[in-house]
Chain A
Amino acid sequence: MPRSLINVPAKAKRGEVIEIKTLISHDMESGYRPDSTGKTIPRNIINLFLASYNGVEIFRAELHPAIAANPFLSFTTIATESGRIDFTWTGDNDFSATETAQIIVE
């Protein structure tokens, strides 16, 4: 299981713009590197990241091989209501990882 790191403020004021930071362990093998025998290592990357807030999509990123290993993404959203924020990463070779953060909005 890949390791991921999520940073969402535990509490926020209603209407406040909060910053969300995500990091996941993944080689992001570009598909352009030869191995020691000169054969190209096949591409193996995360190509889609999704964030949803109480089931509604708030941010989506299509990733290409030009994204560094262990993809980091930070973005913002408006704290509308208490609940959960779900994060999903999907990619080559049926890669899939999910993570959830809780937020209390006052």
Chain B
Amino acid sequence: MKKGDSDRTRRDFIDGAIRCAGGAGLLLMVGASTARATPESMLAAMKKVIGDAAPRKGKVKLELPPLVENGNSVTTMVSVESPMTAENYVKSIHVFNEKNPQPNVIGVRLGPRAGRATFSTRIRLADSQKIIAIAEMSDGSFWSDETDVIVTMAACVEVL
């Protein structure tokens, strides 16, 4: 029986969801500690990027939908308040998560030639969790923003 993507049935979906759950279980058996990032590993990943500096809240705006139906592709936009002149600009922006297999999501490097300190992309979310964006300014200061996202269907670890 040949089946295209277009005529996927409800049964296919349920089968997929069950296999998905099975896959998650398998991962847990292998070892929960390696399967997921944790708030602690996120802090460790953040420390690698920002060192001992403490990011202040503000200037950064991290935009994600508050409720996500499908964690496989979530539109994410970060913008930072900055004049983006040669003396005062955003050097880099990093995004972290708490509960994906790895705490890092993306790190971008920009400069005064960007004109505006903003970028957007699409990310995977394995669970409902907190996402953090940190911006490094040209003066060496760090600013951050965080958003809680609820994911109803997680980015699946199983092949569908």
Contact = CB atoms under 8 A, between A and B. Distances in A.
A73 interface: yes
B122 A72 contact: yes
Find the residue from B73, B107, B122 having the highest chain A CB count within 10 A. B122
B105 A75 contact: no
A61 B76 CA distance: 14
A36 B115 contact: no
A73 B158 contact: no
Interface residues of B, number: 35
Nearest to A49: B108
A67 B119 contact: no
Interface string A45-66: 0000000010010111111111
B101 to A, nearest CB: 5
Contact of A73 (B27, B107, B119, B124): B119
Interface of B: 23, 26-27, 35, 72-74, 97, 100-102, 104-111, 113-116, 118-125, 156-159
